[in-house]
Structure 1
Amino acid sequence: MASPSGTPTKITQGSRTRGGIGESTLRPDGTLKVTGEFAYSSDMWHEDMLWGQILRSTVAHAEIASIDTSQALAMPGVYAVLTYDDLPTAVKNYGLEIQDTPVLAHGKVRHHGEPVAIVAADHPETARRAAAKIHVEYRELPVITDEASATAPDAILIHENRDDHHSRHVPHPNIVHRQPIVRGDVTAARERADVIVTGEYTFGMQDQAFLGPESGLAVPEEDGGVHLYIATQWLHSDLRQIAPVLGLPEDKVRMTLSGVGGAFGGREDLSMQIHACLLALRTGKPVKIVYNRFESFFGHVHRHPAKLYYEHGAARDGRLTHMKCRIVLDGGAYASASPAVVGNASSLSVGPYVVDDVDIEAVALYTNNPPCGAMRGFGAVQACFAYEAQMDKLAAKLGMDPVEFRRLNAMEQGTLLPTGQPVDSPAPVAELLRRVKAMPMPPERQWESSEGADLRELPGGLSNTTHGEGVVRGVGYAVGIKNVGFSEGFDDYSTAKVRLEVVAGEPVATVHTAMAEVGQGGVTVHAQIARTELGVTQVTIHPADTQVGSAGSTSASRQTYVTGGAVKNSCELVREKVLEIGRRKFGSYHPAWATAELLLEGGKVVTDGGEVLSDLADVLEGETVEVEAEWRHRPTEPFDLRTGQGNGHVQYSFAAHRAVVEVDTELGLVKVIELACAQDVGKALNPLSVLGQIQGGTTQGLGVAVMEEIVVDPKTAKVKNPSFTDYLIPTILDTPTIPVDVLELADDHAPYGLRGVGEAPTLSSTPAVLAAIRNATGLELNRTPVRPEHLTGTQLSEG
């Protein structure tokens, strides 16, 4: 046994472990990604692998009269062609909550682009040509595209034999889920209102538009199982849905996370996972599937488009009296996350304001439009667009400053939500609004700088469509509230395995979780937590897979909170075991081993007074300490299906934006000059990553404000723009300056006091931009995205 190293000394602040929480440590994958060397799932390769291809429906709603695969099977190089009838088990559907999505279409197709058959061949072009030779005969059916057609007495049912737990409380089978929230007396409160404003708002269907299209590699294994390397947001949820369809126990479906090129909710649902596994098991060969961009638009869910109907009242002094709203979300052909989106939209529909009397209803529809589900800030994004427009209308009618009106009605810690749940952590809504308003304004008419004209600063940019004669500046504000973590009674937990050992004479920690790193920076934060709690410099992040317990989904701004909490918990248990070993080995050398509070810092064991007792490597000599532990946040409960009351959420995040825009009112061109943001993050574990999350979320909100929308033909329910040629996303030339003011007010219930960061800025950036455009033009503008014809009154022709 080695003895403690040297005579006990004092440890100074400068010798504490570096790279811990609160520091802007660099991402381990950052250099690889910016140089193009990072291996994404689409880069995977296996000797003797086949390529998979999916045949998708060309119509949105039709009976399948027949499928003829004979020509495809006869092609050289084709190893397998599978349809619904070839599926190996009685379980042929899957779904996040409601198992209503068929692996391959059976009987009929319900949306444009639904998978009908799959092919495996020895070359991707062969697979594509074979899929094109499959002949499907359709008998088209009328399409359901909106609430009127979905809920008509004679409406065709999207799912004829519904039998899920939501079907028992909805007024029509084509409604996925309905959540009312009633609190106080809206009728009486309406009588007290001095001003009342109403609005009808339309929110467009947004795509996640991630960099890397869906892809994965399925490898059959000798024990009859399969190993799937996949880009996803939740390994264990995928596993739960995949294994029953394959007829395999979960321990024979091994899953490893491959490089993920962005997600934003679009990878919560399955895409090609089951298809690749089916083909691999049928052929006995590895099968790789990579979507092209066209396929990707059909291969994942999108943000729910919505119709929102709002009424607000206020007294003469500016205090809100009541709110009444109805939110209709189009869930498309399959349920996906629609029930949770309804819960969020309804419970957060008031926004971050004090309103005692409310009458709220939110529903999600089944239609023949593309399936919709999770996307950054789901449910809360659509609601924020509407309630913030209402705040501006009320302020204008009362003759009040729109920021001061919001501050007057802002919630704070202790405020009751419409669900009756108190906000039990800091809610600095008024302060965020004050801060964002106080930020310096960008200079006027930047294109007229002394250095000469810069066309990039003009509406229209480098296309040079305006010279600035008719350009008007507008300023708008918005603030939003987003829940953090899973809600409504979901058992939201995560698991982390942490090992501490000596490697080459140095203590090294290994952190193993199933967390999907999709770009949010969890791999950086987990290492920072391990350094902080274990006092080591070297931390290895084990690849995420299903050989460790579930980490839940990388969504709902929950991973740093929940999986970070699990890593912290496991590290604390490891530390206690290490100190037990040290006391056993060296307790007789120094009384502080038994009497002092001991810490691990800088690779040493120290007392809380800073006295060094031993090198950590000496304590661990010949020992390896490993702990796998779970961590759960506080429990939540479902909302009452009649009143909507209940403690449904665990934490909230808040962000406020100020948008500065310049608009050519004659040509309908918009230039967003600046999108300033103030956000409370509780504790910035990695300030640089926090800044990136806020700026990224802000940019996605900008996209849906002025350019992003999946356009669906209302007569055929076909997608009209499934490409980045026609579906536009912000480029670097469209992205404005995004100054950020970060506030850190700790949530005592959360690890390190942190607060989920990534979604809140997506909420308020969209209505802030719309408010600024309204300010510049005087137009009402009640839909997203704003198009040139909305600003000029010129209706463009379709097609």
Structure 2
Amino acid sequence: MAGTTTGIPTEVTQGTQGARTKGGIGESTLRPDGTLKVTGEFAYSSDMWHEEMLWGQTLRSTVAHAEILSIDVSEALTVPGVHAVMTYEDLPTPVKYYGMEFQDAPVLAHGKVRHHGEPVALVAADHPETARRAAAKIKIEYRELPLVTDAASALAPDAVLVHENREDHHAGHVPHPNIVHRQPILRGDAAAARERADVIVTGEYTFGMQDQAFLGPESGLAVPCEDGGVDLYVATQWLHSDLKQIAPVLGLPEEKVRMTMAGVGGAFGGREDISMQILASVLALRTGKPVKMVYNRFESFFGHVHRHPAKLYYEHGATRDGKLTHMKCKIVLDGGAYASSTASVVGNAASLSVGPYVIDDVDIEAVGLYTNNPPCGAMRGFGAVQACFAYEAQMDKLAAKLGMDPVEFRRLNAMEQGTIMPTGQVVEGAAPVAELLRRVKARPLPPERQWESADGAADVRALPGGLSNTTHGEGVVRGVGYAVGIKNVGFSEGFDDYSTAKVRLEVVNGEAVALVHTAMAEVGQGGITIHAQIARTELGVQQVTIHPADTQVGSAGSTSAGRQTYMTGGSIKNSCGLVREKVLEIGRRKFGDRHAAWADAELLLEDGKVVTDGGEVLVALVDVLEDEVVEIEAEWRHRPTEAFDLRTGQGNGHVQYSFAAHRAVVEVDTELGLVKVVELATAQDVGKALNPLSVVGQIQGGTVQGLGVAIMEEIIVDPKTAKVKNPSFTDYLLPTILDTPTLPVDYLEMGDPHSPYGVRGIGEAPTLSSTPAVLAAIRAATGLELNKTPVRPEHLTGS
């Protein structure tokens, strides 16, 4: 079954127990937080307040690599209203480092700074302006050190080491201390297969550093408690990962660091790492007062990781009839000063570097580097975005050299169910790559010269340059481009990925109601909506309350990798099933002698009643429960994965794959180098659309994020100083509604038999292929090679 933005299916898909309660899965139910957000009434983490609250401020390094010779805080301490000033030496425990995969980042710089904007000192004061003024009075003497800014300076035999003493689990298999992680993938014999190729194409590609650009900067509130612990209210993506990093630095057991999700204004991977959580907490414990920290936009650019910039070197071969023979590539990801999730991004980039194609002979190497550039880590697409940009450009080059249609060339080589990945893993689920390409190509093209009205006048809003009125159509040419991508879903490489859900069913005011409690971070993806839909479907009740996410329940993992509907949705479904069985057990005990059907294992909960599988009502659910409360907390795991072999890259590293294809239609003013994206059409397999409206929104959001990196978004780092040159939304450009094209969506529902309801991760795949589709369309319009993101006017005009 398929849906589109103009024909969204609305029938309810059956859950395990077959309930048809209104507002269940398969319906486009509205988000409970939606109205509050669009009216400005929603409380974000930056809106929190507490009596006698202090404000925290971070002093950050003004240089990228330097020895700290001295720090003088004496003048800052004399500012009226200042309650505390802290440096590395003032941290409360010997544990002063943190990190997601291994702990290489100091809470505050110690001995040296390794990137521009690294935290060096903290101030707590009774007013935010007082805290800022006091921080500015801290005097730091630096002795600048040589910089490591790219692969050449990082890997030279005499290279400066970003981390002098590496004692982590990667050090044994990397050829240089400035390499965080190296992942080769070898399958077949690429050298021998090269001899069979009739055409060979190569390419060197550069992918710029992209910011997650979430609209709500980092913020939170730490409140010290009478038991010596701390209550932390924070916008994050992974409460329990934060907890494991925060508690050791504070010297507290985890149960004394109580974390609660505060309102989050977007994330996209940028909140997986610690930002202000530890800083606010140490200030709160030091002063004995609540401490709030809110980054402004400038500081936010330094307060979180970014998407890895990359250099990608590719070679492909093909026969005259268009069959791919081999692929060889090297991917170099700049991880910046600290590891964050670079190792996992490297594994993802390597394992997905072939794309959704059948190539039996490959020679792949991906590495992640330490440099003195800003730290990079998780961002929507997680390594697969950079690879997709390169391999899709290669597909267009091969098709052109063979004289083939670029879509038909891709379809000829498209993977399908049963294809063996370069890692040796068999694609067990649906892989409708050829069909997705067919659908985007078959869609009618938007009309030519849309800017022309009947009287010959030009509507400048529909032209490149828009309301700047730069052209009336002179020198404007159209281009059409295609791309398709593959993205993994869920945590990979042997990670013990699970989620926990607590579900409570009881009678309140004469109605059976459910309470769902998880630690899932709602970052705008709509998980709380889906959770209520699952509970309604599985428990047959209308009223479902979502408990605020906190660490008083087991981990839900990170809101990333397209995993939350799969994983936390799966755990809620599992816990609801256990609750339902307990309720039916109570019913059999109370009413089992009234009807033979009570002995039937197929009893269902539907619209507040216990019914047979034929729909016969046995009793109201409130009569079963009466004063009883059924509450169950349970974990749920997906199929296990395994780590990739560090020598060959072989291994069943991923849980599930998702696929999306795009067609981009662009118009380019070839004289001024201006681009207008007219349409970005998507076709994607979503497995099962639990909430069709949310499905379309996720696909459109990911598509626009890929558009941004294609023609606008890049953090510019000065190669001579390693300083960020554009830390503001004035100079870091984002697509606005005026830049957003028509976004038609066509989705397939080819359910995965291994996942709850057949779901497939949705939000990440469209971010991959929208970027290369836009680039392909611009190439088609201009005839230029364009091997770098983002495309700028000077790249199109030669100026």
Q: 2:716 aligns with which of 692, 711, 716?
A: 711
Local SS of the residue matching 2:56: strand
Counterpart of 1:338 in structure 2 is 342
Which structure 2 residues correspond to residues 286-325 of structure 1 after superposition, within 5 A?
A: 286-325=290-329
* Aligned CA distance change for structure 1 residues 216 and 236 (closer, same or farther; 3 Å): same
2:271 is matched with: 267
* Alignment size in residue pairs: 782
Indicate the residue corresponding to 1:156 in structure 2: 160
In the TM superposition, what is the alpha-carbon distance from 1:467 to its structure 2 partner? Answer: 1.6
1:424 paired residue number: 428
Match of 2:786?
781
Q: Is contact 1:447–1:457 with CA below 8 Å preserved after alignment?
A: yes
CA distance, structure 1, for counterparts of residue 651 and residue 423 of structure 2: 6
> Which residue is 1:380 aligned to?
384
**Aligned counterpart, 1:457:** 462
Q: For residue 49 of structure 1, report the CA deviation from its aligned partner.
A: 0.1
1:597 CA displacement: 1.4
Q: Secondary structure at the match of 2:451?
A: helix
Q: Secondary structure at the match of 1:378?
A: coil
Q: Check conservation: 1:512, 1:543, Cα contact below 8 A.
A: yes
Length-normalised TM-score, structure 1: 0.97
Q: Point out where structure 2 has 5 or more consecutive residues left out of the alignment.
A: 1-16
**Paired residue type of 1:519:** G
Aligned to 1:294, the other structure's residue is in SS state helix
Q: Which residue of 1 aligns with 2:635?
A: 630
Who is 2:761 aligned against?
A: 756
Match of 1:697 in 2: 702
* 2:126 is the counterpart of 1:119: no
**Structure 1 equivalent of residue 203 of structure 2:** 199
CA-to-partner distance for each residue in 1:91-121, whole Å, 9 max, x for gaps?
0000000100000000000000000000000
Three-state SS of the structure 2 residue aligned to 1:303 is coil
SS of 1:59's partner is coil
How far did 1:651 drift?
0.2
Which residue in the other structure is 1:7 paired with?
none
- Confirm or deny that 1:739 pairs with 2:744: yes
Whether the 8 Å CA contact 1:639–1:648 is kept in 2: the answer is yes
Contact 1:596–1:607, Cα closer than 8 Å, also in 2: no
Q: Structure 1 residue 180 and structure 2 residue 173: aligned?
A: no
Amino acid at match of 1:190: R
Deviations 1:314-353 (A, max 9, x none): 0011000000000000000000000000000000000000
Q: Deviations over 1:681-713 (max 9, x none)?
A: 000000000100000000000000000000000
Displacement of 1:16 in angstroms is: 3.5
Q: Which residue of 2 aligns with 1:643?
A: 648
Is the 8 Å Cα contact of residues 185 and 357 (structure 1) preserved in structure 2?
Answer: yes
Q: How does 1:76-475 map to 2 (within 5 A)?
A: 76-450=80-454, 453-475=458-480
- In the TM superposition, residue 378 of structure 1 has moved relative to its aligned partner by 1.1
* Separation (CA, whole Å) in 1 of partners of 2:143 and 2:367: 30
Q: 1:530 aligns with which of 525, 529, 535?
A: 535
Matches within 5 A, 1:518-597: 518-595=523-600, 597=602
Task: Indicate yes or no: 2:672 matched with 1:683.
Answer: no
Q: Match of 2:164, SS?
A: coil
Distance in 1 (alpha carbons) for counterparts of 2:116 and 2:172: 28
User: Which residue identity lines up with residue 526 of structure 1 in the other structure?
Assistant: H
Q: In the alignment, what sits opposite 1:494?
A: 499
> Which runs of 5 or more structure 1 residues have no equivalent in the other structure?
1-12, 795-799
Q: In the TM superposition, what whole-angstrom CA distance separates every residue of 1:600-626 from its partner, at most 9, and x where no partner exists? A: 011100000111001111111011000
1 CA distance for matches of 2:242 and 2:770? 32
Quick check: 2:64–2:114 contact (8 Å CA) kept in 1?
Answer: yes
| Match of residue 10 from structure 2 | none
Contact 2:345/2:378 (<8 A) preserved: yes
Mapped partners of 2:64, 2:194: distance in 1: 44
Q: Distance in 2 between matches of 1:304 and 1:597?
A: 51
1:628-683 Cα shifts (integer Å, max 9, x gaps): 00000000000000000000000000000000000000100000000000000000
Distance 1:358-1:46 versus aligned 2 partners, 3 A rule:
same
- Counterpart code for 2:529: T
- The 1:24–1:633 alpha-carbon spacing in structure 2 relative to 1, beyond 3 Å, is same
- CA–CA separation in structure 1 for the residues paired with 2:601 and 2:358: 49
Alpha-carbon distance in structure 1 between the residues aligned to 2:601 and 2:530: 29
439-448 or 274-283, which moves further after superposition? 439-448
Partner-residue secondary structure (3-state), 2:172: coil
Report the Cα distance in structure 2 between the residues aligned to 1:20 and 1:786, rounded to whole angstroms.
44
**Letter paired with 1:604:** K
Distance 2:286 2:398 in 1: 63
Name the amino acid aligned to 2:508.
Answer: V
1:160-212 Cα deviation digits (max 9, x unpaired): 00011111110000000000000001111000000000000000000000010
Assess if the C-alpha contact under 8 Å between 1:678 and 1:740 holds in 2.
Answer: yes
Alignment root-mean-square deviation, CA:
1.0
Instruction: Please say if residues 55 and 115 of structure 1, whose CA atoms lie closer than 8 Å, have aligned partners that are also in contact.
Output: yes
* Contact 2:224/2:290, CA 8 A, preserved across alignment: yes
Report the CA distance between 1:14 and its aligned residue: 14
* CA distance in structure 2 between the partners assigned to 1:450 and 1:481 by the alignment: 43
Contact 1:57 1:109 in 2 (8 A): yes
Distance in 2, matches of 1:350 and 1:166, equals 24
Matched residues in 2 for 1:14 and 1:236: separation?
34
Distance 2:727 2:147 in 1: 20
Aligned to 2:3: none
Return the offset for 1:591: 1.0
Identity, % of aligned pairs? 86
Determine the C-alpha separation between the residues in 2 that align with 1:387 and 1:55.
42
Q: Report the residue type matching 1:605 in the other structure.
A: V
* Rounded Cα–Cα distance in structure 2 between residues aligned with 1:315 and 1:596: 58
CA spacing shift, 1:597–1:720, aligned 2, 3 Å: same
1: CA distance, partners of 2:475 / 2:329: 37
Distance (whole Å) between structure 1 residues aligned to residue 323 and residue 591 of structure 2 = 66
Match of 1:3?
Answer: none
Q: Aligned letter for 1:673?
A: V
- After superposition, the C-alpha distances for 1:569-615 in whole angstroms (9 at most, x for unaligned) are 00000000000000000111111111351000111000001110011
Partner of 2:5: none
